Amino acid sequence: MKKSAHADPFEKARLDKGFGEMNDQDDPVVMLLRHKDVRKCAHNWKTFQSGAAPGRIVIPSEVPIRDTRQIPFELDPPLHGEYRALMEAWFKRPIEKNYQEKLADQINASIDQALEMGSLELIKEFSLPLQSRALTLLLNTPYSESDTWISWGTHVFRSEDDPLDSSKANILYDYIDEQIEKASQNPGEDLYSVLLASEAQGRKLSKEEVKGVMILTFAGGRDTVINAITNTIAYFADHPQSLARLREEPEIIGKAVEEFIRYFSPLTHMGRVATEDTQVCEHAVKSDSRISLCWASANRDASVFENPNEIILDRKINPHVGFGFSHHKCLGATHAREILKILIATLAEKVQSIEIEDYQENIEHWGEFQRKVGYDSIRVKFQGR
């Protein structure tokens, strides 16, 4: 199998019964595996809520390591919509030309540096710095802040031997508290200041609410974006003809980005908490227990996607749920899509070939399922054109 391949561990269970079961910190989770069920339950916020205890809808549950509610992601309608509306325009800024030019400058510089280095460890020396620098644009904060964020490593709540690392989480919380203090004393043009000046429920957002938005902005788009970048580059290493095709047909880059998101599904699943005794796939779900919406499995559902285990760069019909579905669709998706589009265009322009020299896969364990989500490390060599 190619080094960049990501097998589908959910296929059998998806076909046989439509769900899987796992245990997360003594709290069972019923994983929904079919595209139709995932979309239906994502839409049904009354029965499957997001506004449970902060951290509970994340799997592994982050209840032990945080009290701050992440906004708007851990709210349900109608409150969810009121908060989300405050942020929509800000998170759409990546479609502006000026934003894209700055992003392109950053990505050009990253690729030039990679070409100069020749061989590099892609995550630490490329994907993580690229993600962090790009985040300075989304937050509209000084570029130099990215050095601090890079020093935190790939995931802000996990470390190599601890899936819920509270000391690491505290570094992020303290940093955000400090930035909120600074912005409240000296407002500027950054996201902290914009949020501090916003109003919901007929009053200004509290510092705790602003913190909730900021934690989500930092955490939600971190390992997900890093994995998407890394997996895309690993794919081009195995498929140089695909990079050549995108060079010849830049008009399909947008479709290719959607296909990569579908195939790699950077976020495996997201939980919901049942508000009443109910059923999914004829399986009983008790009130106050969790289900998960398994985006990664839904994205390989052969009843929706022809040849789901193949990357078809210009796939015509692609209703993937890689950015979630319904009310809680990813707010950072515009930013993530722009990063990938510009990355692919720049690789096509500047890179002739990429060779994978060494790699360690990052395998997630979810009950009976083992899923490759990316790499723990991957050494590659870039060859310029």
**Which chain residues interact with ligand EMZ by CB under 6 A?**
58, 62, 70, 73, 157, 216, 219-220, 223, 267
Q: How far is the CB of 5 from ligand EMZ (least distance, A)?
A: 24
Q: How far is the CB of 132 from ligand EMZ (least distance, A)?
A: 15
Q: How far is the CB of 245 from ligand EMZ (least distance, A)?
A: 31
Q: How far is the CB of 19 from ligand EMZ (least distance, A)?
A: 21
Judged by CB, which is closer to ligand EMZ: 33, or 58? 58
Judged by CB, which is closer to ligand EMZ: 94, or 332? 332
Q: How far is the CB of 322 from ligand EMZ (least distance, A)?
A: 11
Judged by CB, which is closer to ligand EMZ: 120, or 270? 270
Q: Which of 286, 290, 270 is nearest to 278 (CA)?
A: 286
Judged by CB, which is closer to ligand EMZ: 18, or 338? 338
Check: CB of residue 267 under 8 Å from CB of residue 295. Answer: yes
Distance, in Å, from the CA atom of 192 to the CA atom of 231, rounded to the nearest integer, reads 31
Q: How far is the CB of 223 from ligand EMZ (least distance, A)?
A: 6
Q: How far is the CB of 140 from ligand EMZ (least distance, A)?
A: 20
Judged by CB, which is closer to ligand EMZ: 134, or 243? 134
Check: CB of residue 146 under 8 Å from CB of residue 133. Answer: yes
Judged by CB, which is closer to ligand EMZ: 211, or 315? 211
Judged by CB, which is closer to ligand EMZ: 75, or 267? 267
CA 19 to chain centre: 23
Length of the chain: 385
Judged by CB, which is closer to ligand EMZ: 314, or 364? 364
Q: How far is the CB of 346 from ligand EMZ (least distance, A)?
A: 26
